[in-house]
Structure 1
């Protein structure tokens, strides 16, 4: 059993007196977030068993009491689904503040130029620290891009230079282990490193990584995906290699695509590689998707591909503003991700939503282009949908994992809640985050993790990463 195993999960947990946001719409409005001013929720064996308005039925209370369960009276605090990040790089948690004066590729040189020298042990503790950091900010599920076995090489005119040697398979597997040990639900995104070795080597390495993750507890390891690398791969058939692996292993694919404002024509030309390889469909997601054309958006939407939007990191790296409302209007599924801790700097989902709202409204001059209800949906159920895990997480629907946050609008006090759901998005911060639960089990309280590895994770990255930097020369 992992250190985060459910050793103290009550069989039943009854949450009462909640401003309950379920993300379960009551009608056909896709932006209905299912709000109850005074709600309750019953958790059984880590799953949502029932929700309702007002006082829980006497039979429910009696059943919890008879089972020796727990009653959690939140006293008017918000109870909402744990946030879902549809695009994350958890191994970067100890590398914040690097490359601040750089756009994407210069920042990568600084940040990934450091991880290029990490050992499997280094990457384990860095990933564990990042996963616990997500949990402490109310993010209970993440699509996690692992640092590839083939280390970063500088980009010149939009093309990768060099062919760095491969690290051992353990370098990947320890990143998946860290997510599991943190108790974070995750989709494990694996690079195929298609320029290293023979085609059979590429296939065998990927299969070994897939096998490792699929052997884990499926309640935490929710799925496996490909870290799409066509954007910077020199192989003209890289998309075909990825699509073949998608079909063979039954995995999804998310590609960093059309992100940087550099070499835009070259980037745009590579969309055809995915299109012509037959990648477009619900299992294909484009991360960032900023430097698009109307034709590219139309083809991606028509093919059924999704899009992951990282508003905070897009601004931090001066990448631009994605045309998210237009994509949604064309039928494209969209989710929000927090991206790197090294390029959002604080893993704050409320900040991420507000940056996204502000960026879209500033671009369109229309406040209706991104309303708080829609941003909340994109950072919970929408993110889960494009990750292919919405049947298990993303809303407080009966039968799903009981992953939720308790958020107190009175500590600190934000004043009257004129529109509670909008206040939840626009006025809350991590200071209001009281508790985080995964599967009905408390994992963080007041920003302090209950995981027994948390203290060591902090100590290790504070000692080991500066020592690494001293060996290689301090990163920029």
Structure 2
């Protein structure tokens, strides 16, 4: 199947340059789900179908480099808490959920991301080991394990929703022998690798050294990275509690050799100049979640300084339970405003940079930028159509800047994955969408008596 998109305000975000690749009157040819050609003016090609967007923006689908898609039914919990109290409320609820409930919650969360223009996500699955409250900045590590199906059904939910995703699993290193730890993780990775590789873009580790009581947790994660050929993103230096204890854990990853294997740090807020310098020198990257960091009162990461020092940065929406609305435009604006308020310098975070971080930047740190993150020939045709006239934002003096600063889901006309419409003005085209919504609304009643939101 071929599709020709015409009369578009194209924003391509090409690799290797800071230029956003804006074409005022552009066209794009899609063949078999991938971008076959891009041009300006009158198209030099034809296709089986034509999509005339009549002056709307056409831009890459957003990439969320840090997400927890199973949380779609858990919004509004832990509002008065910082990270660990919020986790007690939110993950204290999922501790009582079944694998099938997690499937529908993940599917719903994935469809929610798609309806807001997010076409690729790094997805942290809820680990097999249930959440425990933090004590002195770490977990005890003796919570029970769930069956492997608890993980595999979350991956299935992403796949059935039609979002592209990297599937991240916790290794739960405090339960069982070392052989048990690797056997469990091997089973999780093996399942991910049976899924359609056009959607399941890779397997990864949900790094848990930050709160693990096991002094060998970093070494085990590094061994798994090497043994299974997977990436690793660690929630790290996020919360303003127990900062010295958190910072002391950096040496565990550094000494285990994780930085040189491309470790991603999620959040990376409570840093020091020395930690940033060592992370950059070692080759680590970071994922920045501005809306989540504000919601949980975690602080503001020194992102401009990190970028200037050579660190690769992506942007994530985190999850619906701490971002509340899966709105990438809101996330971008919060990021811009936070940095400008902190630095008192408007140049510290410009709209063009912010857009790149939430698209190609995220794909780069996830290792999937050869397939997604920009509108370039050969990549998947994942794009959004955004109409600046409905509602009308007035003249587009600087189109790309207006795209970042003045657009919102109200302007989002359509979301396409592989050139196929997956969300039409916020309404999913997925045949499972209605059932996913119904299942999610059943959760509160189902969880009463087994543990419920508080």
Q: Give the TM-score of the pair, scaled to structure 2.
A: 0.99
Query: Which of the numbers 422, 427, 431 marks the counterpart of 2:410?
Result: 431
The aligned runs of 1:102-113 (5 Å cut-off) are 102-113=81-92
- 1:468 positional shift: 3.3
- 1:472 positional shift: 3.4
- Superimposed CA distance per residue, residues 160-193 of structure 1 (whole angstroms, 9 cap, x where no aligned partner): 1351110000000000000000000000001000
Query: Which of the numbers 457, 467, 473 marks the counterpart of 2:436?
Result: 457
Q: State the distance in 2 between where 1:305 and 1:157 align.
A: 27
Match of residue 12 from structure 1: 2
Query: Which of the numbers 241, 245, 249 marks the counterpart of 1:266?
Result: 245
Match of residue 387 from structure 2: 408
Q: State the distance in 1 between where 2:69 and 2:132 align.
A: 20
Aligned 8 A contact 2:104 2:440 in 1 = yes
1:22 aligns with 2:12: yes
Match of residue 31 from structure 2: 44
Match of residue 153 from structure 1: 132
- Superimposed CA distance per residue, residues 437-473 of structure 1 (whole angstroms, 9 cap, x where no aligned partner): 000001010100000000000000101x111342235
- Superimposed CA distance per residue, residues 376-416 of structure 1 (whole angstroms, 9 cap, x where no aligned partner): 00000000000000000000110000000000000111111
Match of residue 74 from structure 1: 53
Match of residue 22 from structure 2: 35
Q: State the distance in 1 between where 2:322 and 2:449 align.
A: 24
Match of residue 3 from structure 1: none
- 1:122 positional shift: 0.5
Query: Which of the numbers 375, 382, 385 marks the counterpart of 2:364?
Result: 385
1:338 aligns with 2:338: no
The aligned runs of 1:43-122 (5 Å cut-off) are 43-57=30-44, 60-61=45-46, 64=47, 69-122=48-101
Aligned 8 A contact 1:282 1:306 in 2 = no
Match of residue 6 from structure 1: none
Q: What value does the CA root-mean-square deviation take over the aligned residues?
A: 0.8
Match of residue 116 from structure 2: 137
Q: State the distance in 1 between where 2:74 and 2:278 align.
A: 37
- Superimposed CA distance per residue, residues 247-303 of structure 1 (whole angstroms, 9 cap, x where no aligned partner): 000000000000000000000000000000000035210000000000000000011
In structure 1, the residue corresponding to 2:153 is in which secondary structure?
helix
Q: State the distance in 2 between where 1:52 and 1:359 align.
A: 36
In structure 2, the residue corresponding to 1:335 is in which secondary structure?
strand
What 5-or-longer segments of structure 2 have no aligned partner?
none
Match of residue 8 from structure 1: none
Q: State the distance in 1 between where 2:96 and 2:310 align.
A: 42
What 5-or-longer segments of structure 1 have no aligned partner?
1-10
Q: State the distance in 2 between where 1:112 and 1:252 align.
A: 24
Query: Which of the numbers 116, 125, 128 marks the counterpart of 2:107?
Result: 128
Q: State the distance in 1 between where 2:390 and 2:136 align.
A: 50
- 1:475 positional shift: 1.6
- Superimposed CA distance per residue, residues 83-102 of structure 1 (whole angstroms, 9 cap, x where no aligned partner): 00000000000000100000
Query: Which of the numbers 290, 297, 310 marks the counterpart of 2:276?
Result: 297
1:472 aligns with 2:450: yes
1:204 aligns with 2:183: yes
Q: Give the TM-score of the pair, scaled to structure 1.
A: 0.94
Match of residue 263 from structure 2: 284
Q: State the distance in 1 between where 2:451 and 2:280 align.
A: 45
The aligned runs of 1:228-239 (5 Å cut-off) are 228-239=207-218
Aligned length: 454
Aligned 8 A contact 2:141 2:212 in 1 = no
